[in-house]
Chains A and B, each alone.
Chain A
Amino acid sequence: MTAGGLLLDVAGLNVRLRLPGGVLHVVNDVDLQLARGETLCLVGESGCGKSMAALSLLRLLPRIASWSAARMRFEGADLAALDDRRFAALAGNRIAMIFQDPMTAFNPVVTLGEQLFEGFLRHRKGDRQAARDKALYLLDRLQVPAAERRLTQYPHELSGGLRQRLMIAMALICEPALVVADEPTTALDVTVQAQTLRLLAELQADMDLGLILVTHDLGIVSRMADRVSVMYAGQIVETGGRRSVFERPRHPYTRGLIDCVPVPGRPLANGRLGTIDGSVPMMQEGLQGCRFANRCGHATDHCRTAAPPVYRAAGQAWRCVLEAGAVPGAVPGAGS
């Protein structure tokens, strides 16, 4: 992949949280690359930093957070160098966000129509009729019944599934190039979830949308992603194409995570699910060695003292020395 063809090219992203007890390094040296029309899934468990990494792209981090990046380019422009005013012209326009909980992300006292139109009127300098046409088109594509009436309704009048579709419409109304979706279907029922993701994927294909999907759900990742980045304790520990990550995971954490999930029709070994023992280390400064070492069955003294380099082979990259010799052509990459 050449850097010129990338929609989003982030390298060395760090996010720090200043807490009364000290500074937490919640995102460490994260790289994100995304081509137009591509889906990148950021997957990990709570506290791994996936949401913080995603929110930093839209400058939506909480006040106590600060971020820095060695490189942050979007559509060829330097995203990090933009002042707030110029960034505001991009946010909601070229980069949009879909939040997890549509109940809290919408304004409860403004009609859904007004909330949908707002971004369009602000960024596209179009008139209300154009905004309305665009909104109705999107609601139709998202199979929202009685779309006209929805525009006059308030968020609480809709079911969770419908609200989330309205949220998707709101994100897409300016035809962004990049959408960041943070657990977009976690609050929904399983049947509604599958449909919502399907509708989103259809629109994504039509609009050639780059999608960063933040989720904890490996099932969704295995069916939506073009590429997967697995996060653990603030770092991306493995990244690669969907099939290679699931069929040949290189990092013990990825493997452990996949084994934890019950799969219909797959008998359990000894009648029990796979587990990962131990817990995530506190993400303070000066963590030594591999962050997963305290939970890894294969960890050696070397793992506990020396941070593993990033190995790369066949489109996959991982931070674990175990697979270094096992994979022909695996070479430590420079830095991250």
Chain B
Amino acid sequence: MTDPDMPLIELRHVSKTFRLRRGLFAPPAELHAVNDVSMRIARGSITAIVGESGCGKTTLARMLLGLARPSAGEILVDGTPLGVLDRRAYAARVQPVFQDPVSSLNPKKTVAQIVRLALDAHRIGTRAERAERVREVLDLVDLPQRFLHAYPNQLSGGQCQRVAIARALAIGPEAIVCDEPTSALDVSVQAHILNLILDLWEKTGTAFILISHDMALVEIMAQRTAVMYLGRVVEADDTARLFRQPRHPYTQALLSAVMTPDPACGLPDIAFSGIAPDPTDPPPGCAFHPRCPRAFAPCAAERPVLVEAGGRAVACHLHPAEGRTGSL
């Protein structure tokens, strides 16, 4: 093992720009899906990335998985740039769990074949050892062995998601990137899957990167949370403190919009306009200022930088630089 303080994965000023064709003669529009994001993922941690649709969280997940290349900046794994690493070696260390459990499994393969695939691809162990490992991870995700020869269409959504998690776990990765792992599932099934992730995290020490839009879920799962808006991280903090003292008005709005089952409350009063800006033409200054209830003069003129101090970072003119700027 390397230096324990070195983050497992570090993002340095990572950006991803897509060029959108608008027509035969019009110049292509540039969409900055992820814009100058810096982040450290600690070994064995659960880190959450939250935001609404279009904030870039899925693009970020794809880059973390090596499925998309950053347009700028670099991703380091144990201090080694991702570009230098062998793709296959990287895939063995970081594994995905996707949102839709049914479509992310090959319908023509059995559960055993699906879970074994990574072991086969990486030529780990003998045939017998691989079969043994498959049985082992099925136990880990609480799937009965009788499902070994079942096909995905014979399983429920929750069971499919367990298979997807087992597939990710099989080669013993150091991190699992879960992109909205429960948003396609019913609440009672969601509870099972979230509990399972917590169990696996405790048992295996695997780091989890949880991409979600659900603040209530993030609070119980993650130690560290980054909030994204229109491609940028606007706030990052230890989860408990972020929920206790959210500093960015967008984080505050997200928290106020959480509708937990509480019959004593009415509908939340969201203080800002619900019309999200066009991501190909983001507002000048702070991208959130047209919707922000606390916007003032500098917000439209100048983009606030992400200021980090004492483990918390926020990009907002209401919280001007006291510390240094840098990564989270």
Contact = CB atoms under 8 A, between A and B. Distances in A.
B263 A242 contact: yes
A23 interface: no
Given A192-B276, A201-B267, A275-B195, 14 more contacts: A145-B275, A190-B215, A190-B259, A191-B254, A194-B268, A217-B259, A218-B187, A219-B260, A222-B263, A243-B264, A246-B261, A263-B262, A264-B219, A275-B188
A52 B145 CA distance: 35
A197 interface: yes
Contacts of B216: 261-264
Query: For the complex, would chain A's binding face be called helix, strand, loop or mixed by DSSP majority?
Result: helix
Contacts, number: 132
A205 to B, nearest CB: 12
Interface of A: 45-46, 145, 159, 161-162, 189-198, 201, 216-224, 242-243, 245-247, 256-265, 268, 271-276, 279
B291 to A, nearest CB: 9
B6 interface: no
Query: For the complex, would chain B's binding face be called helix, strand, loop or mixed by DSSP majority?
Result: loop
Contact of B270 (A46, A195, A223, A271): A195
A191 B274 contact: yes
Contacts of A256: 188
A197 B261 CA distance: 15
B257 A193 contact: yes
Nearest to A279: B156
Interface residues of B, number: 43
29 contacts: A46-B186, A161-B276, A190-B257, A191-B254, A191-B257, A192-B52, A192-B276, A194-B267, A195-B274, A198-B270, A218-B261, A219-B261, A220-B259, A222-B263, A223-B266, A243-B263, A243-B264, A256-B188, A261-B261, A262-B220, A262-B260, A264-B215, A264-B216, A264-B243, A264-B255, A264-B260, A272-B198, A273-B191, A275-B191
A264 B274 contact: no
Interface string B246-290: 000000011111111111111111101011100000000000000
Nearest to A245: B263
B156 A222 contact: no
A222 B265 CA distance: 8
B276 A159 contact: yes
A273 B261 contact: no
B192 interface: yes
